[in-house]
Amino acid sequence: MIRPRLFLSAVSEELRTVRQSVAATVRTLGFDPVSQDDFPTGYGELREWLREQVNSCEGLIQLVGQAYGAEPSNVDPEYGRVSYTQFEFLYARKRNKKTWVIVIGKDFELDKPIAEQDLPRTHDHSDPFGYQIERRSLQQNYLSRLNQDNHLRHTANNGTELQNIILRLRDDLGELRRGGERRERRLTKAVISILLGLVILGGGGWWGYHQLQRGVQQVSLVNTEKIRAHLLQTTEETHRRELTEAEAATDWKRRQELRDAANHAHSIRLSRIEELAASFAEIEGRGTSTGIFQEMTRILSEQGVDEAISYVGAQRPSILQTVRTRATVAREHNRADLQPLLRAAALQQAKGEATEARNLYTDIFAVEPDWPDALHAFFWFLTDQGDLARVHTTLVETKREYEEAHRMAQRLTTSDPGNTDWQRDLSVSYEKLGDVAVAQGKLDEAAKAYRDSLAIRKQLAASDPGNTGWQRDLSVSYERLGDVAVTQGNLDEATEWFQKSRLNWQDLQKKDPTNADWQRGITIPLNQLGDVAVAQGKLDEAAKAYRDSLAIAKSLAASDPGNTDWQRDLSVSYSKLGNVAVAQGKLDEAAKAYRDSLAIRKQLAASDPGNTGRQRDLSVSYERLGDVAVAQGKLDEAAKAYRDSLAIAKSLAASDPSNTQWQRDLSVSYAKLASLTELRKKTGESRAYWKQAFDVLSEIDKRGLHLSPKDREVLKILRQKAGVDAS
């Protein structure tokens, strides 16, 4: 029997933890709690979803604090200006739902201090205090109305009092639950009556058949909330298991690597839960799901992920055999039968079982090699695996995954060239291959891949100028091509690409000034234009670009200190300003900027030691501080900074010999120490460092990978310094 539902209303930023505590209590009383936290990404307008949820609930408990909370962008035509939380209660009253209001006392521990509630989303608001006061006034007016209507009967000043209030509502809630169960039994009886009527009427029951089908669909609705809960439980169990396995490693470095890998995989699985849970309901809604899929959905809802996977595993041979032997049946029937395997592959991926997921895809393609849904799902599976390999393994493994993903995208676009989703997949695969080529030093190959990606994105952006996602993709392509042009020494060309990117980001921001992604996007071409200006000797122009970027980065990082991407952006801005200060001879200013950057990068690297990008950032910061120390005559301080940089560069280069960027970094580290020891008159030690720098860089050349004209000049100097015979 489906459990009755109870809506829990509260301002999430203020009382999310309190609401979760209440949810745990009402579950013990026989209800499934529902709240704004369950709002699915991409659903649409929130109020419409709230109406649907309140309609499906037996009643509503509202936790009222001092915060007003988020509000719709337009005034509600029925209730006037209200927050989403206020709307929930008012709509429930209109629908004659049973409601309870619990006032949360001022001494209650909140998720976010009340002084930080109801502030503008952007930091450039002209009057944030007035903005907050206005919303507090709206909330107080709401409380006054509730009081006048005699709704404010309960107040909780701590968790114990709140728990007791909910438990004192046991009788009311029990009657509410029994009422819901009675309605379900009546519905079930109605369905049975229709079935009996069909038996009696025989062939004359066509109308009754449709009524029966409608009733059965109502009784057997997919419970997305339960599926989501089981997926979350399985994801957390998988995370705990992986962390336990990590603790079994005997070497502390290996333990840390395994912990970081587990945490990274966990974040990816969490990001897929909402889409995966919703997909089951979507498939049921199409009317194409099979009995096995329905049983799998029921098991997933009632028993969890492991049992669902086990059930599909038991059915797997029969599913595949059925599909293979049904050669004359329509293709859509085959694909309907394969849906459980396709969804099981997504479940396996969510559990971090990539091998098992890959095997399921192999089985699916063995019988339906051209199924677009499966090809699309497999494309993103491969892309995700490539992204993971890029962080945790080697470029060779990364490229293998990206190349296979590219083949999937090509098959999709070949089958339906007009499908814009498939076209975007193809543009992503070109970009990923270009990224690998850059890391391998194959710049011509990278430029071609980026241009192929750009050609697709131009067409998509032109076909729908209002699609901000496609406009964003276009900016990224401009930036990638600009980076390649810089590395190739084509600075004028690079400037053109970066200017195009900047203008594109600015157009996006004009359409949505509060969008943090668009704000962050502008910082990327600003930094890139600053780099070009430095290379051209236009230091004042570079400094202005970097300062503009720093202002945005500071604002974003302050708005969300836990956002590691924004923290890294801030570290980059400090480092860029340090570079300009060095070029201008302002060494103390440069040292401060580099130290500010280093402080952030130390924290980021410590939080994720297995992240090679963060380790490289840290190595670069040490190197920059070493350069300044040398210029200031602080040679001991420079030696320590260079050795810290070298230790990281060695580790990265050894972990992936195919990564030419890391090999080049190692050569530079050796050369820095060689130059320093030369200054300190340590000739033998200096010669050894020069030789190591030469060996690393020349090995890149021997393998036929890209060396820029500047690299080749450096190679000549290193050969001379190391005393290596040119023959």
pLDDT of residue 274: 76
With b for 16 or more beta-carbon neighbours within 10 A and e for fewer, the 384-415 pattern comes to bbbbbbbbbbebebbbbbbebbbebbbbbbee
> Would you place residue 219 in the very low, low, confident or very high pLDDT band (cuts 50, 70, 90)?
very low
> Would you place residue 105 in the very low, low, confident or very high pLDDT band (cuts 50, 70, 90)?
confident
Residue 395: CATH number of its domain: 1.25.40.10
pLDDT of residue 441: 85
pTM exceeds 0.85? no
> Would you place residue 179 in the very low, low, confident or very high pLDDT band (cuts 50, 70, 90)?
low
Please report whether residue 662 resides in a domain: yes
The verdict on 333 and 406 lying in the same domain is: no
Rounded to 10 degrees, the C-alpha dihedral 598/604/607/612 comes to -100
Please report whether residue 602 resides in a domain: no
Tally helices (H) and strands (E) across the chain: 28, 5
The verdict on 654 and 686 lying in the same domain is: yes
pLDDT of residue 627: 95
DSSP letter (8 states) at residue 116: G
Percent composition of the chain: helix, strand, coil (DSSP 3-state, to 5): 75, 5, 20
Please report whether residue 77 resides in a domain: yes
The verdict on 359 and 400 lying in the same domain is: no
**E strand or H helix at 9:** strand 5-9
The verdict on 297 and 406 lying in the same domain is: no
With b for 16 or more beta-carbon neighbours within 10 A and e for fewer, the 27-58 pattern comes to eeebbbbbbbebeeeeeeeebeebbebbeebb
> Would you place residue 197 in the very low, low, confident or very high pLDDT band (cuts 50, 70, 90)?
very low
Tell me the per-residue pLDDT of 301-324, one tens digit each, with 9 for 90 and over.
Answer: 888 888 888 888 888 887 887 676
Tell me how far apart the alpha carbons of residues 353 and 341 are, in angstroms, rounded to a whole number.
14
* pLDDT of 188 over the 60 cut: no
Residue 119: CATH number of its domain: 3.40.50.10140
The verdict on 361 and 253 lying in the same domain is: yes
pLDDT of residue 109: 83
Lowest mean pLDDT among 230-239, 458-467, 548-557: 230-239
The verdict on 27 and 131 lying in the same domain is: yes
Averaged pLDDT score across all residues of the chain? 85
Which region holds residue 141: left if phi is over 0, alpha if psi is between -120 and 50, else beta? alpha
pLDDT of residue 587: 95
Angle of helix 420-439 versus helix 372-392 axis, rounded to 10 = 20
Please report whether residue 562 resides in a domain: no
> Would you place residue 224 in the very low, low, confident or very high pLDDT band (cuts 50, 70, 90)?
confident
pLDDT of residue 11: 94
CA distance readout (Å), 136 to 70, 114, 116, 120: 12, 10, 12, 13
pLDDT of residue 2: 60
* pLDDT of 271 over the 90 cut: no
Task: Pick the last residue of a domain from 336, 369, 402.
Answer: 369
Return the amino acid letter for 413.
T
> Would you place residue 325 in the very low, low, confident or very high pLDDT band (cuts 50, 70, 90)?
low
The verdict on 341 and 389 lying in the same domain is: no
Token duo for residue 303: 């028993």
Tell me how far apart the alpha carbons of residues 182 and 10 are, in angstroms, rounded to a whole number.
29
* pLDDT of 207 over the 60 cut: no
Please report whether residue 689 resides in a domain: yes
Residue 428's domain spans which residues?
370-463
Task: Pick the last residue of a domain from 322, 349, 369.
Answer: 369
The verdict on 343 and 375 lying in the same domain is: no
Please report whether residue 580 resides in a domain: no
The verdict on 374 and 277 lying in the same domain is: no
Tell me how far apart the alpha carbons of residues 49 and 34 are, in angstroms, rounded to a whole number.
12
Work out the percent of the chain whose per-residue pLDDT is above 90. Answer: 50
Tell me how far apart the alpha carbons of residues 225 and 36 are, in angstroms, rounded to a whole number.
12
Please report whether residue 457 resides in a domain: yes
pLDDT of residue 483: 94
pLDDT of residue 214: 47
Task: Pick the last residue of a domain from 369, 396, 420.
Answer: 369
* pLDDT of 40 over the 80 cut: no
DSSP-derived secondary structure for 606-619 = HH-TT-HHHHHHHH
Closest CA to 657 of 696, 693, 692, 610: 696
* pLDDT of 574 over the 60 cut: yes
The verdict on 93 and 228 lying in the same domain is: no
The verdict on 354 and 386 lying in the same domain is: no
pLDDT of residue 289: 65
pLDDT of residue 391: 75
pLDDT of residue 423: 96
* Higher pLDDT among residues 547 and 171, named by residue: 547
pLDDT of residue 264: 84
Helical residues (DSSP H) of 442-490, grouped into ranges: 443-463, 468-487
Token duo for residue 598: 């280093």
Lowest mean pLDDT among 137-141, 206-210, 470-474, 676-680: 206-210
Closest CA to 412 of 381, 384, 453, 371: 371
> Would you place residue 184 in the very low, low, confident or very high pLDDT band (cuts 50, 70, 90)?
low
pLDDT of residue 42: 52
| Contacting residues for 599 by C-beta, under 8 A, at least 6 apart | none
Lowest mean pLDDT among 443-452, 535-544, 579-588, 700-709: 700-709
Which residue's entry shows tokens 């595949």? 320
Which residue's entry shows tokens 């032997």? 325
Lowest mean pLDDT among 175-189, 596-610, 641-655: 175-189
Tell me how far apart the alpha carbons of residues 701 and 708 are, in angstroms, rounded to a whole number.
10
**Number of structural domains found in the chain:** 4
Tell me how far apart the alpha carbons of residues 20 and 248 are, in angstroms, rounded to a whole number.
34
* pLDDT of 198 over the 60 cut: no
pLDDT of residue 285: 61
Tell me the per-residue pLDDT of 349-405, one tens digit each, with 9 for 90 and over.
Answer: 888 899 999 999 999 999 889 899 999 999 999 999 998 888 777 888 999 999 999
> Would you place residue 646 in the very low, low, confident or very high pLDDT band (cuts 50, 70, 90)?
very high
